[in-house]
């Protein structure tokens, strides 16, 4: 039988290890993974160069696309072009920063209408849990959201308020009945209110306004409620490594709790942030180098499950104010996640196979997309051709992000995505979009 396409790679990441192999694709699916000397009849054979590695497409479960309502910050077209350029083949869109937020079925349908025909990679959606929408959660679940996001602290936008203690417990109970995943921005509002308020150009003042105890206390509260309610829970954008002690303890008590961190927490540190450089502002904040080292240890020992971008862009006018009290808190990085993480990982003796596990397989598994984020028979033919030794210098004007603002501007990174393939077809960021809109349980 003649198959559609075969990829031949001297280096490929398969089953958690690097090997030489041939990956055969029929339709949208991987149908064989063979030794490289196999010779199936294929209409097209793609031979990777000696300096290239075949990876599964990355899965980024934490992306703020912001459309509709704030499309000038980002949008489905620009965000998914950037994703394709960065080797990301699947995104899950966050429910806030769009207007309306994804807190009702009607809002979800509006978001899907905006995205239809405009996405260059596959896109799913989180629902939101906010005060007053408990009755909307079952409908959102039935409509196919991948779970529910909530805040324990001001989200930064008025249309997505945080949950109080009783509201959070009630939302966790509803999610438990639905067997839905709850993803939590875990910072404690009481500690933030008692800390000094940030203002001005000094990064250290901003860091003092959100000390690590803000995360540690909130994560302990989330884990306690998850245990009492029997809810599956996921901690977003972990910055404080001290909180991992709590995570380990509650896992030992049987709580189904996972943790993500982000490229900026693994690559940057507080001492390197210049005065007034508000492109580095995010919440929770980038902390010191010792904390960063402990985050890497947490990845290595399994306390941290995955790395996702928390791509949270805004306009340059909102981001580049020079005042850490007023600037928008978010780092745009969906296109740069792989080279940022790989640059630091290789310097720390971590393997490309480990990076793939953290950035592709585990995010896919946590949201129930077991056919994504891996090179194996039966999986979607989502692939990334990566040159791990090629260097680039980041120029924000050359990124596909809608706004040319980057915390990595001018940095020299190692690793270039040369091609991205989505379900067996080339995902060219300058080409026509052929991504799909995903729902929970899709194959």
pLDDT, one tens digit per residue, over 207-247 is 999 999 999 999 999 999 999 999 999 999 999 999 999 99
Residue 395 pLDDT greater than 80, yes or no:
yes
Mean pLDDT of the 335-342 span: 98
Q: Which residues have CB under 8 Å from 79's CB, separation 6+?
A: 63, 65, 91, 311, 334, 401, 402
Residue environment code for 114-151, b if the CB has 16+ CB neighbours within 10 A, otherwise e: bbeebbbbbbbbbbbbbeebeebbeebbebbbbbbbbb
Please report the pLDDT score of residue 4 as a whole number.
Answer: 85
Please report the pLDDT score of residue 42 as a whole number.
Answer: 87
Share of the chain above pLDDT 70, in %: 100
Please report the pLDDT score of residue 79 as a whole number.
Answer: 98
Residue positions counted in the chain: 443
Instruction: For residue 87, give Cα distances in angstroms to 5, 91, 287.
Output: 19, 11, 28
**Residue 403: other Cβ atoms inside 10 A:** 20
Residue 282 pLDDT greater than 90, yes or no:
yes
- DSSP string covering 33-81, please? EEETT----EEEEEE--TT-EEEEPEEEEEE---TTT-TTT--HHHHHH
Give the mean pLDDT of the chain.
Answer: 97
Mean pLDDT of the 153-165 span: 97
pLDDT, one tens digit per residue, over 403-417 is 999 999 999 999 999
Mean pLDDT of the 337-358 span: 98
Distance (Å, rounded) from C-alpha 109 to C-alpha 112?
Answer: 5
Instruction: Give yes or no for a contact between 341 and 58, defined as CB atoms under 8 angstroms apart.
Output: no
Alpha helices in 333-434 (DSSP H): 337-347, 352-356, 362-366
Of 285, 222, 233, nearest in space to 260 by CA: 233
Helix (H, G, I), strand (E, B) or coil at 224: helix
Mean pLDDT of the 356-379 span: 98
Please report the pLDDT score of residue 1 as a whole number.
Answer: 62
Instruction: For residue 375, give Cα distances in angstroms to 28, 121, 286, 338.
Output: 13, 17, 33, 17
pLDDT, one tens digit per residue, over 98-150 is 999 999 999 999 999 999 999 999 999 999 999 999 999 999 999 999 999 99
Residue 2 pLDDT greater than 80, yes or no:
no
Cα four-point dihedral sign 152, 357, 25, 443: negative
Please report the pLDDT score of residue 40 as a whole number.
Answer: 72
Q: Which residues have CB under 8 Å from 41's CB, separation 6+?
A: 1, 2, 3
Angle between helix 212-229 and helix 165-178 axes, rounded to 10 deg? 50
Q: Could you tell me which residues are beta bridge partners of residue 306? A: 260
**Residue 289: other Cβ atoms inside 10 A:** 12
The band of 3, judged by pLDDT with boundaries at 50, 70 and 90, is: confident
Mean pLDDT of the 276-291 span: 98
Instruction: Give yes or no for a contact between 424 and 25, defined as CB atoms under 8 angstroms apart.
Output: yes
Pairing of strands 58-63, 306-307: unpaired
Residue 367 pLDDT greater than 70, yes or no:
yes
Full set of structural domains in the chain with CATH: 3-47 (no CATH), 56-426 (3.20.20.140)
Mean pLDDT of the 28-45 span: 90
Mean pLDDT of the 235-261 span: 98
Q: What is the DSSP letter of 358?
A: I
Share of the chain above pLDDT 90, in %: 97
Mean pLDDT of the 354-382 span: 98
């Amino acid at each position: 039988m003649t198959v559609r396409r075969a990829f031949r790679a001297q280096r490929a990441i398969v089953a958690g290890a690097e090997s030489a192999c041939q990956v055969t694709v029929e339709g949208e699916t991987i149908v064989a993974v063979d030794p490289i000397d196999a010779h199936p009849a294929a209409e097209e054979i793609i031979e990777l160069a000696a300096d290239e590695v075949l990876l599964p497409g990355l899965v980024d479960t934490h992306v703020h696309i912001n459309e509709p309502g704030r499309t000038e910050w980002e949008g489905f077209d620009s965000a998914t072009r950037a994703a394709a350029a960065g080797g990301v083949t699947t995104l899950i869109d966050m429910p806030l920063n769009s207007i309306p937020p994804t807190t009702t079925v009607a809002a979800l349908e509006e978001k899907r209408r905006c995205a239809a025909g405009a996405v260059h990679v596959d896109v799913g959606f989180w629902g939101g849990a906010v005060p007053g929408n408990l009755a909307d959660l079952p409908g959102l679940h039935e409509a196919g959201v991948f779970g529910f996001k909530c805040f324990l602290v001001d989200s930064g936008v008025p249309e997505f308020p945080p949950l109080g203690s009783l509201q959070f417990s009630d939302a966790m109970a509803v999610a438990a009945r639905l067997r839905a995943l709850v993803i939590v921005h875990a910072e404690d509002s009481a500690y933030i209110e008692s800390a000094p308020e940030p203002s001005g150009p000094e990064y250290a003042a901003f860091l003092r306004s959100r000390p690590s105890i803000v995360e540690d206390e909130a994560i302990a509260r989330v884990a306690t409620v998850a245990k009492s309610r029997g809810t599956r829970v996921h901690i977003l954008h972990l910055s404080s490594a001290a909180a991992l002690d709590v995570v380990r303890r509650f896992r030992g008590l049987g709580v189904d709790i996972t943790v993500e961190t982000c490229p900026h927490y693994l690559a940057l540190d507080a001492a390197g942030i210049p005065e007034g450089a508000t492109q580095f502002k995010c919440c929770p904040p980038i902390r010191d180098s010792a904390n960063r080292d402990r985050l890497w240890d947490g990845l290595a020992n399994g306390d941290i499950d995955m790395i996702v971008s928390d791509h949270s862009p805004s306009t340059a006018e909102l981001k580049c104010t020079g005042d850490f009290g007023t600037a928008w808190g978010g780092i745009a990085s969906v296109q740069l996640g792989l080279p940022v993480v790989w640059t630091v990982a290789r310097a720390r003796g971590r393997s490309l196979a480990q990076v793939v596990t953290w950035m592709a397989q585990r995010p896919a598994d946590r949201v129930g997309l077991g056919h994504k984020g891996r090179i194996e028979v039966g999986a979607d033919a989502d692939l990334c051709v990566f040159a791990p030794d090629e260097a680039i210098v980041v120029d924000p004007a050359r990124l596909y992000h809608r706004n040319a603002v980057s915390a990595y501007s001018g940095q020299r990174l190692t690793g270039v995505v040369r091609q991205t393939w989505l379900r067996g077809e080339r995902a060219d960021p300058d080409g026509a979009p052929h991504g799909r809109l995903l729902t929970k349980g899709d194959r």
